[in-house]
Amino acid sequence: MFSRMQAVIRRIPIGKVSTYGAVASAAGYPGAARQVVWALRAPGSRGLPWHRVVGAGGRILLPSEDGFEQRLRLRAEQVGFLGDRVNMAAHEWAFQKGRAKR
């Protein structure tokens, strides 16, 4: 499960973001948004573009310094914000349907 989620996260291009729920669905596990967090911390997660995964509606869910770092990394990739949320209309990555196989 985690390796499939990690593979999906690797496909998010620079300047785009996806939500935990969308990553879970694209990996073939709809409703497993919480497990995406675990996949980001699991073995094999080194080098993942973790900062490109945000909460529903573009919210940065990481606390304090980690959330600040995520915001800085996204801004460095030219990701725009509307207030404290990512501008999802401009930066949300849409995964192609039918890619994940179970």
Condensed to tens digits (0 to 9), the pLDDT of residues 33-77 reads 999 999 999 998 999 999 999 999 999 999 999 999 999 999 999
Q: What is the pLDDT of residue 97?
A: 72
pTM summary value: 0.91
* CB < 8 Å & 24+ apart, contacts of 55-60: 55/19, 55/20, 56/19, 56/20, 56/21, 57/85, 57/88, 58/17, 58/19, 58/82, 58/85, 58/86, 58/87, 58/88, 58/91, 58/92, 59/84, 59/85, 60/84, 60/85, 60/86
What pLDDT does 98 receive? 56
All domains of the chain in start order, with CATH: 2-91 (1.10.10.10)
